[in-house]
Amino acid sequence: YQNYGLVHVQDSKVSMENCHIRHSEYHGITVVDEGQFSSFTGNSIASVGESAIAISSEYAHTIGVGNELDALMGIQVKGRHITESVTWHRQSVPYYLLQNVNVGSSTGAVLTLEPGVEIRMGKNAALTFGYGDKPLGTLMAEGSPSDHIVITSAAATPSPGDWEYIR
């Protein structure tokens, strides 16, 4: 990421519970390289210039539940490979995919989206399930009548062709 957050996590695991993060020019939290959360619940992030959290797709599942996130670009997800079965939890803001995300492994990897998850796809972004030498990838997205799963454009005025594909 071009700019760090108020909290910057790199190549380590952190636990954050019931914390308040406010007034960052860019991101509330940046999580890069092999960085991830061992626990992230009950937190509040607001008044940030870009995203509440900027994190790799590989570790977006480590964002727990019960958080109040408020940011222009929600959770900014950097494209990488998801090679194990993970669940993206419903949050108070959308996930923004600004790059391609590949899901797959030789034994099978599943990306599960909880009811109520919203994903906004950036220009030319794609979700690919099964790729190259990792042919087994699956998307499990089962919303409910009151909790839809939404995958749409990240553009201010959405139109066909804003993002690439899901395949």
Name the pTM for this structure. 0.95
**Confidence band of 148 (pLDDT split at 50, 70, 90):** very high
CA distances from 147 to 20, 68, 95 (A): 27, 18, 16
**pLDDT value at residue 81:** 93
Mean pLDDT on 134-145: 95
Percent of the chain with pLDDT over 90: 93
pLDDT, averaged across the chain: 95
**pLDDT value at residue 1:** 56
Collapsing DSSP to helix, strand or coil, 91 comes out as coil
For residues 78, 143, 66 and 86, what is the CA-based torsion angle, rounded to 10 degrees? -50
Mean pLDDT on 13-24: 97
Distance between terminal CA atoms of the chain?
Answer: 27
Mean pLDDT on 95-106: 95
Cα dihedral across residues 20, 77, 2, 163: positive or negative: negative
